[in-house]
Amino acid sequence: MSNPTAAMLVIGDEILSGRTRDANMHHLAQEFTKHGIDLREVRIVSDDRAAIVSALNALRAAHDTVVTSGGIGPTHDDITADCVAEAFGVTIDVRDDARALLQAHYDRQGSELNEARLRMARIPEGASLIDNPVSIAPGFSLENVHVMAGVPSVFQAMVASVLPTLTGGAPLLSQTLRIERGEGDIAGPLGKLADRYPTLSIGSYPYQKNGVFGSNVVVRGADGAEVDRAITELASLFS
C-alpha cells in the first residue's frame, strides 16, 4: 500500500491505570481509514517526560503524520507541549495569538486568565495553532506532529480541523463476511484465497459468542471490484 502512514501517541496515565478507556484512538482510526491514511501504530505512554519525548521522536521519524492526544491542559501534569518542544529542540513560551484567544474567551465568560490557564498559550517555536471551537484553548501542529487535547469532544473537533490539511490516499474499501465456523476450519482455504489476491489485505478476526466460535473475515483493498470478487469467492467457499 502506498497510502500515507500515521501513528498516534496517547499520553494517558488514566488509561494505563485502567481508570478510563481510551475513546480517541478508535475515533482517529475511523477518520484516518475514511481519509485513506494508514494508521500503523499507536503508543500509550504515561505522563513521563522521557517516555513522551522518546516516543514522539521515534514516531515522527517513522511516519508521515503523528497525532498526539492528552496533556495540554492547565494543570501540573500537563506536560505534552514542553515535551514536544524538547523533542524538536525548540523553545516554548506564551504566544500572543494563543493568549489573545484565551483572553477573549475568559473575558466573555467573566473568568480570569490566571497563570494556570495561561500555560495553555505556551506554544513551541514554529508551530501553527489548531482551532478548538469547543473550549478555545488551541492545539498546535509542528512539522508532521499534531498535538491535540485528550477530552474526546475537543479531540474530535481538532481532528476535524486538521484532517482537511492532510494528504489522504485512496480510501481503503472493506467488506466483512461473518462465518460461523471455528478459524481452524476456514484457515486453509482462507490462506489460499489470500495468496490468490495479493493486492488485498484479508484478515480473520475470531469471536466467541454463547460458546460458539466463529470469525469475521475482513477483505480490504483500494479496488472495489477486486474486493467484491474476493468476498463472492469467500462466500461460495463457506456456504
CB of 126 to a second copy, least distance (A): 26
CB of 15 to a second copy, least distance (A): 7
Residue ranges in 177-196 that form contacts with a second copy under rule CB under 8 A: 182-188, 190-191, 194
CB of 75 to a second copy, least distance (A): 4
Tell me whether residue 40 or residue 99 sits nearer to a second copy (CB atom). Answer: 40
Number of Cβ within 10 Å of residue 200's Cβ equals 22
Rule CB under 8 A: say whether 81 interacts with a second copy: no
Binding mask 82-101 for a second copy (x = CB under 8 A): --------------------
Binding mask 15-34 for a second copy (x = CB under 8 A): xxxxxxxx--xxxxxxxxx-
DSSP letters, the chain, are --S-EEEEEEE-HHHHTTSS---HHHHHHHHHHHTT-EEEEEEEE-S-HHHHHHHHHHHHHH-SEEEEES--SSSTT--HHHHHHHHHT--EEE-HHHHHHHHHHHHHHT----HHHHGGGEEETT-EEE--TTT---EEEETTEEEE-SSHHHHHHHHHHHGGGS---PPPEEEEEEE-S-HHHHHHHHHHHHHH-TTSEEEEEEEEETTEEEEEEEEEES-HHHHHHHHHHHHHHT-
Cell of 35: 481519509
CB of 153 to a second copy, least distance (A): 5
Residue ranges in 156-175 that form contacts with a second copy under rule CB under 8 A: 172, 174
φ/ψ bin of 26: left (φ > 0), alpha (ψ from -120 to 50), beta (otherwise): alpha
Tell me whether residue 2 or residue 208 sits nearer to a second copy (CB atom). Answer: 208
Of 2, 61, 76, 236, which lies in the binding site for a second copy, with binding defined by CB under 8 A? 76
Stretch of 71-79, 87-95, 158-166, 227-235 lying at the interface with a second copy (CB under 8 A): 71-79
Q: How far apart are CA 36 and CA 6, in angstroms?
A: 11
CB of 88 to a second copy, least distance (A): 22
Stretch of 10-18, 87-95, 121-129, 139-147 lying at the interface with a second copy (CB under 8 A): 10-18
Binding mask 31-70 for a second copy (x = CB under 8 A): xxx-----xxxxxxxxxx--x-------------------
Q: How far apart are CA 202 and CA 182, in angstroms?
A: 17
CB of 106 to a second copy, least distance (A): 8
Rule CB under 8 A: say whether 239 interacts with a second copy: no
